[in-house]
Amino acid sequence: MKFLAILRDSLRETLDVKLFYVMVGLSLLVVLLAASVTYKPVPMKQRIEFENKMVNMMIRGQLQSRPETAPFDFHIDIEDFEQLGDHPEPWLADYRFFYVITVSAPAQDGLPNDQLLQSVRDEVKNAIKPEKLEQDLHRIFTEVKVREAPSKDPGQIRLEVTTSNGTTVKTRQEWTHEPRLFFGLVPIPVPVFTLNNIIVFIGDWIVGAGGAAFTLLISIIMTASFLPNMLAKGSVDLLLVKPIHRTTLFIYKFLGGLLFMFLNTVIIMVGIWLGLGIQSGMWINAFLVCIFVFTFEFAMFYAVSALVAVFTRSAIVSIMAAMMTWGALILLGWTHWAFIEQQRKTAPADYTNHWAYVGYDVLHTVLPRYKDLDWLTSKMIKEELIKPSSQQSIDPNDRAAVEAARQRQKRLDEVYENQLKKLDKEYGGYDWKSSLTVSSFFIVLMLGLACWRFATRDY
Amino acid sequence: MPVIETKNLIKHYGRIEALKGVSVTVERGEIFGLLGQNGAGKTTLIKILLGITKLTAGAANLLDESVGTVPVRRRVGYLPEDHRFPDYHTGASLLDFYGALLEVPRAERRKRIPQVLELVGIKGRMDYKIRTYSKGMKQRLGIAQAIFHNPDVIFLDEPTDGVDPVGRRHIRDVMQSLKDENKTIFLNSHLLGEVELICDRVAILQQGEMIREGDIATLTRQRGLFTIGLADGQTFPREEIIRQGYTVTPNGTMWEVALSDGQSIDPVVDLLRARGLNLRHLVEKRQSLEDLFVETVEAAEPGVDRINRPRRPQSPREHRA
């Protein structure tokens, strides 16, 4: 009953602050923004045309680099593009289309003769042989046939492309998507990113970095006055005469602050999780784990704030102390990664045995690991996103399909393993267990000191 | 069994001796007033009795238990002097919050909140935020929260501070009704007129020492000073009474007779009767509590925060300097 009463009191205190409503408004805006992003699969034609545009630019560049071929006009067009069948997912459908390659000379006097033009056409024709193109298109299509088709224009090369058994992409998240803001109203022109890439970006930067920092900052400010207000002269007396132990009272009040952060994070993270899940079909459970990680991170700074509050009874000083701790831990984390972690395996012995190296490493070991937890969270989100998803059901009697699926799964597993290794390298040798343990000790220490002071002090 | 009992209570704040061996006893159903100048140690004594501040030496018991224990705190109400209620609460929600901390069941709280707020006269504003309350209303709310859980002992530190005369009377009535319910009230106030009207016993604390204690009637009685009045037209036999060793001074139409040690007023009365004089007025003179307080603290060593005294006129030399 007492715990609930103090929680209700903390909630009432929170709801009384106007900044809280600003924060809720901003949080809902972030959630709404994330939920308003739609992910439209890029049609195959658009994708092929985009890649074709790149090829055009590349070959034109090559021609223009030689003075004798520079005046020639060159372009590859996609013509008569059609989808075979009516499969709704572009990555599962089959297609037929034509590459039309045109090399022409401007109709002006004194320009390269027909012989040169023909030799350039031959050169191009040789470069874009059906079998070469077929090989190249296997990046995209499971099975593809390219053959030279007759052309009415002798200056054109016409190659017919027919695909079957869909594309190499088997799931939506691997397919290129075009994100659009405000429920499809405003396109964001990045047609080269897969749905996976986009969600990683949102998870890493919007949720992991920006969102977490914003929530943490506002929560520190919002909750910093909870304990100083309780400890204010004339206010603390009224609580100390109640039949509740001082330590219990203090811990309850601390938990009230944590609950504030927890609820706020729940609103944001569950909102984003739902919004992204509904719009993209990707349910990133790591986002939900972030609720606990962010609350835990907040507990580190709130414990510092609480300790300072017991000594100073000042909200401003408590905020400053929490902020300074935050800044110091970020700085410590980054410098440790740059000068210690990155050098651990490669640096010479005189570097790694230097007292400053050892001392800094020890300092990082004993202090709370805010930056490490932040990175581990990002890594956790990425790990979930790069995990190969289950394949579509295959007829077990179709041996070829089963074998193809097996091969594909093997390839995906290899890619996944490599990506995990890359992530390990990128994020250093930090681990959850030690980061959480050391940080928990820090919280307990700060709270222990604060409780001791609160319990023994005369008011 | 006394409700409040301290024995040789000592409290040091660093090198400052806030209480120097204070012993006080308060019985059940009493309204006890603690008087003293600012800094005399009154609030320290209350805070020790409530467990807010820890004692340095001595003993303090409340409700037959050591002070500051959780069971004792369930039976105690307290209104601090410079209280600061969280102003994000309404009057009703504050009582609900404190009531929950005091383990008052929810149903009981719902029933008691309007009752208690009506008792102190602010029921009409119970759902308004405290920040909209006047000083007097906050004081009434303070009394409401102190008595909300039906405690056995109530400590009130300056309960009528900032309250208008009508409100003060109301608060006195509340205290009287609590006394009628056999509650013990420990009152700390600078308004000596209020204390005189409501308290059964008072104690005066000066620089951490208890310098006077007793019931009001006894303390304010001026021993050996009587005012005597005779029927109209009769002459007071002043010289004869002076000859018997009394000091006689006129006081308007009456006379004040001062007794020396061991003397009684009876021989004076016998003399007046023997002379055939009609006694119309015979009262042992009393002083106000304020007079007693000022006289007592002036007589004792001046306090830490003394009453402002008139400044000694400066000599011309001092003035020039």
Is the pLDDT at A355 greater than 70, yes or no?
A: yes
- Which domains are delineated in chain B? 4-218 (3.40.50.300), 222-286 (3.30.70)
pLDDT greater at residue A152 or residue B19: B19
pLDDT of residue A264: 84
| Residue owning tokens 């040169």 | A116
Is the pLDDT at A332 greater than 90, yes or no?
A: yes
B86 and A2 in contact by Cβ < 8 A? no
Is the pLDDT at B305 greater than 70, yes or no?
A: no
Interface A-B, measured as beta-carbon pairs within 8 A, has a size of: 80
pLDDT of residue B263: 86
The minimum CA-CA distance between B118 and chain A, rounded to whole Å, is: 21
Q: What residues of chain A lie within 8 A of the CB of B76, using their CB?
A: 241
Is the pLDDT at B309 greater than 70, yes or no?
A: no
Same domain, A112 and A246: no
Same domain, A322 and A286: yes
B51 touching chain A per CB within 8 A = yes
Same domain, A393 and A423: yes
Range A178-183 contact pairs with CB under 8 angstroms and sequence separation of 24 or more: A178/A39, A178/A40, A178/A41, A178/A42, A179/A37, A179/A38, A179/A39, A179/A40, A180/A37, A180/A38, A180/A39, A180/A40, A181/A33, A181/A36, A181/A37, A182/A36, A183/A36, A183/A38
- Tell me the mean pLDDT in the region A198-226: 82
Q: What residues of chain B lie within 8 A of the CB of A9, using their CB?
A: 86, 89, 97
B287 touching chain A per CB within 8 A = no
| pLDDT, tens only, A134-158 | 888 988 898 999 998 888 887 788 9
Could you give the 3-state DSSP secondary structure of residue B235?
A: coil
Is the pLDDT at A392 greater than 70, yes or no?
A: no
Q: Tell me, yes or no, if the pTM score tops 0.80.
A: no
Q: Chain B 250-269, CB below 8 Å of chain A: which residues?
A: none
A1 and B50 in contact by Cβ < 8 A? no
A13 touching chain B per CB within 8 A = yes
What does the mean pLDDT of chain B come to? 88
User: B38 in the Ramachandran plot: left (φ > 0), alpha (ψ -120 to 50) or beta?
Assistant: beta
**The pair of three-digit structure tokens given for residue B122, joined into one six-digit string:** 């602010």
Is the pLDDT at A423 greater than 50, yes or no?
A: yes
pLDDT band of B312, cuts 50, 70, 90: very low
Same domain, A402 and A377: yes
CB–CB of B153/B51 below 8 Å? no
Is the pLDDT at B304 greater than 70, yes or no?
A: no
pLDDT of residue B141: 95
The minimum CA-CA distance between A230 and chain B, rounded to whole Å, is: 8
For testing contact with chain B, the best of A237, A240, A249, A253 (most B CBs within 10 A): A237
Q: Which of B13, B47, B80 sits opposite A238 (nearest CB)?
A: B80
User: A148 in the Ramachandran plot: left (φ > 0), alpha (ψ -120 to 50) or beta?
Assistant: beta
- Tell me the mean pLDDT in the region B230-243: 93
Is the pLDDT at A209 greater than 80, yes or no?
A: no
| pLDDT, tens only, B25-35 | 999 999 999 99
CB–CB of A9/B101 below 8 Å? no
B76 and A241 in contact by Cβ < 8 A? yes
The minimum CA-CA distance between A458 and chain B, rounded to whole Å, is: 5
Asked whether residue A186 is assigned to any structural domain, the reply reads no
Same domain, A144 and A267: no
B98 touching chain A per CB within 8 A = yes
Is the pLDDT at A28 greater than 50, yes or no?
A: yes
* Residues in Cβ contact with B198 at an 8 Å cutoff, skipping those fewer than 6 apart: B31, B33, B172, B175, B176, B187
Q: List residues bridging with A231 in a β-sheet.
A: none
Is the pLDDT at B318 greater than 70, yes or no?
A: no
Q: What angle do CA B265, B271, B272 make, to 5 degrees?
A: 95
How many Cβ atoms are within 10 Å of B240's Cβ, its own excluded?
A: 15
- Tell me the mean pLDDT in the region A28-33: 86
Same domain, A333 and A375: yes
Same domain, A229 and A309: yes
Same domain, A227 and A363: yes
For testing contact with chain B, the best of A241, A244, A452 (most B CBs within 10 A): A241
Which residue of B lies nearest to A252 if distances are taken between CA atoms?
B101
List phi, psi (to 5°) of A336. -65, -40
For testing contact with chain B, the best of A6, A238, A244 (most B CBs within 10 A): A238
Task: Compute the distance between CA of residue A391 and CA of residue A171 in angstroms, rounded to an integer.
Answer: 7
Choose the weakest-confidence range: A160-169, A287-296, A398-407, A425-434. Answer: A398-407
| pLDDT, tens only, B43-63 | 999 999 999 999 999 999 999
B73 touching chain A per CB within 8 A = yes
Q: Which amino acid is at B233?
A: G
A243 and B102 in contact by Cβ < 8 A? yes
Q: Which of A5, A13, A234 sits opposite B84 (nearest CB)?
A: A234
B53 and A458 in contact by Cβ < 8 A? yes
Same domain, A54 and A75: yes
CA B299 remoteness from chain centre: 19
Same domain, A142 and A86: yes
The minimum CA-CA distance between B280 and chain A, rounded to whole Å, is: 54
Q: What residues of chain A lie within 8 A of the CB of B71, using their CB?
A: 243
Same domain, A283 and A431: yes
B74 touching chain A per CB within 8 A = yes
Asked whether residue A51 is assigned to any structural domain, the reply reads yes
pLDDT of residue A213: 85
Which residue of B lies nearest to A228 if distances are taken between CA atoms?
B86
Domains in chain A: how many in total?
Answer: 2
Percent of chain A whose pLDDT exceeds 90: 34
pLDDT greater at residue A211 or residue B93: B93
A18 touching chain B per CB within 8 A = no
Identify the DSSP state of B125: G
| pLDDT, tens only, B277-292 | 999 999 888 778 888 8
- Tell me the mean pLDDT in the region A172-193: 83
CA neighbor of A1 nearest in space, from A254, A239, A244, A238: A244
Asked whether residue A372 is assigned to any structural domain, the reply reads yes
Range A345-352 contact pairs with CB under 8 angstroms and sequence separation of 24 or more: none
CB–CB of A300/A442 below 8 Å? yes
C-alpha distances (whole Å) from B1 to each of A296, B49, B58, B109, B185 are 52, 17, 19, 31, 16
Percent of chain B whose pLDDT exceeds 70: 93
Domain that holds residue A104: 44-174
Asked whether residue A317 is assigned to any structural domain, the reply reads yes
Is the pLDDT at B13 greater than 50, yes or no?
A: yes
Same domain, A247 and A164: no
B98 and A242 in contact by Cβ < 8 A? yes
pLDDT of residue B317: 46
pLDDT of residue A106: 67
Is the pLDDT at A14 greater than 50, yes or no?
A: yes
| pLDDT, tens only, A239-295 | 999 999 999 999 999 998 898 888 888 988 899 899 888 888 888 888 899 999 999
Choose the weakest-confidence range: A28-32, A246-250, B66-70, B115-119. Answer: A28-32
Last residue of a domain, one of A143, A174, A205: A174
ipTM of this complex prediction, to 2 decimal places: 0.78
| pLDDT, tens only, B105-157 | 999 999 999 999 999 999 999 999 999 999 999 999 999 999 999 999 999 99
A8 and B73 in contact by Cβ < 8 A? no
pLDDT of residue B157: 92
Q: What angle do CA B304, B307, B311 make, to 5 degrees?
A: 110
B89 touching chain A per CB within 8 A = yes
For testing contact with chain A, the best of B101, B130, B161 (most A CBs within 10 A): B101
